[in-house]
Amino acid sequence: MQFNTQPLDNPAAPSGPATARALHLFKEWFWRPPRPHGETLVDRRVSPLELLYDLVYATVIAQAGNHLAAHLSVNGLFEFAVVFALTWIAWANGSLYLELHGRLDGRRRTYFFLQIGILAILAVYAGDAGGGGGGFAIAYMAFLVVMTWLWYEVRREDARLHPEFLADTGRYVVAMAVSVVVILVSAFLPAELRLLVWAIFTAAWVFLLLLFGRLPVGLGRGMTPTDSLVERFATITIIVLGEVVFGVVDGLSQSKHDVATISTGMIALAVGFGFWWIYFDVVGGKLPKPDGRALSNWMLSHFPITLSIAAAGAGMVGMIEHAHEDSTPASISWLLLSGAVAVGLVSLIPTWRALADASRLVTVYRPLWIAAVAGAVASVIIGWTRPAPWLLGLLLVIVLGLVWAVAVRGFALAGTWGPARSEAP
């Protein structure tokens, strides 16, 4: 724990005994208000607290993914998508709060450790949120209550320092409060109706973020693209890529350890590597445009990207379990694996269109979106033919590799590809 040796907010700190001064400094450190809009820390680094915060979301996603792996069907995928959406919305709310308004003082730490505790309970219910969704809803509501209060504190600071943001922050706080009520009511609904309410809730939040990206104040003035913001979204992408590894390990653990099974597992792992290469060489580490529309598109497009990768991770289990079969089951072949690759590739298009580099490197990104669409179509066709699991994985790796090759060629011809782009490991 580190404290400033100078008073943080009050220059007239007492000069009495050392104990009284220490208590004063502790109070100043613990009770600092959140950063209001406009106080962007351009050189901010992602803190250990944020990394821990992200890792807790990994447990929620893993639990939901395990349930999907055991219930491979259209209904199972819908349930997973809805639970993942709620989890992603929670992560986005917490992460953007830390990015825009957070401090690493005692109160903020306490609030986020409280959130981590709630998320741990949420993970317990995430494995069967469709059937046992009452507990999931109550835990999620508790999380929203904490976030509503945190955003309300931001509004109070805006009222004091930046009244031009009051209308937008007021709308956001109202949206959070309404969300608390909706999720609480959903806890007492039948399972099928509850999932439907959650799906509508997700669509409403997507609409809200799109709206904030187009308001005169909104995201355009309230958020400045920073390296730490880009790193936050890269981190959640890494977390879902970890789900691919977990899926491969689970599949291998539950199957015979022979050559065919292990080979299929390694090919499945290579699908995850393909996602990594494309995302981090084309999107990762690059700032979005500073206007609100581009920012909202950039953030929201990460939802289907991460959803598709997480779904693919769940599909790896079944792919390996059926390694000795001549044809991959349809629910695994096109519903999860090839469908996930297709959705992931198409979802990357609005992400890179929102990048600041998109206007400067038109010759790179124009053929790339064509390659992404072609790769998505090819992935669906591959899944529809239902080849053997090892061949399915291999063909999807080739599709991802070809899209990546188009990106490499474009960057190389534009003179923006080389050792300077990959100095850091």
| CA atoms 104, 106, 107, 109: torsion sign | positive
Tell me the pLDDT of the chain (425 aa) as tens digits: 444 444 444 444 444 577 777 676 666 666 677 777 777 777 777 888 888 888 899 999 999 988 888 888 888 899 999 999 999 999 999 988 888 887 777 777 888 899 999 999 999 999 887 667 789 999 999 999 999 999 898 888 877 777 777 877 888 899 999 999 999 999 999 988 999 999 999 999 999 888 877 766 556 666 778 888 899 899 999 999 999 999 999 889 988 889 999 999 999 999 999 999 999 998 888 999 888 888 889 999 999 999 999 999 998 998 999 999 999 999 898 878 999 999 999 999 999 999 988 888 888 888 898 999 999 999 999 999 999 999 999 999 999 999 999 999 988 888 877 544 444 44
DSSP symbol at 226: -
**pLDDT for residue 143:** 96
DSSP symbol at 33: P
Cβ-contact 389, 331 below 8 angstroms: no
Cβ-contact 279, 237 below 8 angstroms: yes
Query: How buried is 193 (Cβ within 10 angstroms: 0-12 exposed, 13-18 middle, 19+ buried)?
Result: exposed
**pLDDT for residue 1:** 40
Closest-CA residue to 129 (of 202, 55, 68, 58): 68
Domain ranges of the chain: 48-222, 227-418
**pLDDT for residue 16:** 55
**pLDDT for residue 6:** 43
pTM: 0.87
In order, the DSSP letters of 304-325 are HHHHHHHHHHHHHHHHHHTTTS
**pLDDT for residue 226:** 84
The CA distance from 65 to 59, in Å, is 10
